[in-house]
Structure 1
Amino acid sequence: MGKFLFLFLVTKVAFLGAQTIDDLRFWTEEFPPYNFVENGVLKGKSTDFLAKVFQKLHAHQTISDVQVLPWARAYQLLLKTPDAVLFTMTKTPERTPLFYWVGPISRSNNVLIALKNRKLNLAGSLANSSLSFGAVRDDAGAQLLTSLGVPPSRLDLTTRADQSLKMLVAGRIDVFAFDETVAQWWMKRLGYPIADFQTVRVLARGEHYFALNKQTPLALVDLFRRAVNEVLAEKKSPQKQ
Structure 2
Amino acid sequence: MSVFYRRIALFVFLSANLFCAFASAQSLSLYCEADRPLQFFDENGKLTGMTVEIVKEIQRRVNNDDPIQVVPWSRGIDKINNNANTLLFSMARTPERESLYQWIGPIMANVYGLYAKADSTLEINSIEDAKKIPLIGVYRGDIRDQNLTRLGFNNLDRASSNISSFKKLMMGRIPVYTDSRLGVQSSAQTAGYTVNDVKLVFELFKSELYIAASKNTDPAVIKKWNAALESMKKDKTFLKIQQKYLPEEPNSKTQK
TM-score bracket for the superposition, by shorter chain length: 0.7 to 0.9
**1:41 equivalent among 41, 46, 63:** 46
Secondary structure (helix, strand or coil) at the match of 1:114 reads: strand
Indicate the residue corresponding to 1:28 in structure 2: 32
- 1:140-179 paired onto structure 2 within 5 Å: 140-151=143-154, 154-179=155-180
Does 2:23 match 1:19? yes
Deviation for aligned residue 1:81: 2.1
- 1:55-70 paired onto structure 2 within 5 Å: 55-61=60-66, 65-70=67-72
CA distance in 2, matches of 1:137, 1:22: 33
Q: In structure 2, do the counterparts of structure 1 residues 44 and 59 end up closer, same or farther at CA, with 3 Å as the change threshold?
A: same
- 1:82-161 paired onto structure 2 within 5 Å: 82-122=84-124, 123-125=126-128, 128-151=131-154, 154-161=155-162
Q: In structure 2, do the counterparts of structure 1 residues 173 and 237 end up closer, same or farther at CA, with 3 Å as the change threshold?
A: closer
> What is the TM-score normalised by the length of structure 2?
0.76
CA distance in 1, matches of 2:53, 2:46: 12
Contact 1:71 1:160 in 2 (8 A): no
CA distance in 1, matches of 2:239, 2:65: 29
For residues 46-65 of structure 1, the C-alpha deviation after alignment (integer angstroms, 9 at most, x for no partner) is 0011111111112232xxx2
- 1:161-240 paired onto structure 2 within 5 Å: 161-235=162-236
Deviation for aligned residue 1:156: 2.6
CA distance in 2, matches of 1:58, 1:155: 44
CA distance in 2, matches of 1:129, 1:226: 46
- The residue identity in structure 2 corresponding to 1:150 is F
> What is the TM-score normalised by the length of structure 1?
0.81
- Kindly, what percent of the aligned residue pairs are identical? 27
Q: In structure 2, do the counterparts of structure 1 residues 58 and 135 end up closer, same or farther at CA, with 3 Å as the change threshold?
A: same
CA distance in 2, matches of 1:211, 1:36: 18
CA distance in 1, matches of 2:208, 2:180: 11
CA distance in 1, matches of 2:61, 2:131: 50
Deviates more, 1:38-47 or 1:126-135: 126-135
- Unaligned runs of at least 5 residues, structure 1: 1-10
- The residue identity in structure 1 corresponding to 2:150 is S
Deviation for aligned residue 1:194: 2.6
- The residue identity in structure 2 corresponding to 1:52 is E
Contact 2:169 2:177 in 1 (8 A): yes
Q: Report the count of equivalent residues.
A: 223
